[in-house]
Amino acid sequence: MRLELTARHFQLSEPLRRLADKWARKLERFDDRIIECQVVMDVEKHRKTAEVLLNVNGHILKAAHESHDMYLSLDGAFEKVEAQLKRLEGRLKGR
């Protein structure tokens, strides 16, 4: 899986990079067909937004979360996309 991290309007710190990598590896354990994981983190005044986009063998999963803390935003976005990935797995196994 290819992991692409983008930081808008701030410098990406090493702890944030490690957290995103940890989440991406966790998702890869659910489904080994994940081709790419794009993470976009954006800061606008007091709003910290994280967006996660997964390409799972042609299926695109996208989730975003906004909060006052980038770590919470990143956790929230990955939790949402993890739920989407589990639903996709259930649909694909049901076929």
Task: Residue 40: give its domain's CATH number.
Answer: 3.30.160.100
pLDDT digits (tens, 9 = 90+) for 30-88: 888 899 999 999 999 999 999 999 999 889 999 999 999 999 999 999 999 999 999 99
Q: What is the dihedral of CA 11, 43, 21, 2, to 10 degrees?
A: -90
- Neighbour-count burial of 75, counting CB atoms closer than 10 A to its CB (0-12 exposed, 13-18 middle, 19+ buried): middle
The whole domain housing 44 covers 2-94
**To which H or E segment does residue 80 belong?**
helix 70-94
pLDDT at 30 (0 to 100)? 82
Q: How far is CA 14 from CA 1, 24, 55, 65, 78, in A?
A: 20, 15, 24, 20, 18
Is 80 exceeded by the pLDDT of residue 4? yes
Give the count of domains, the chain. 1
pLDDT at 94: 74
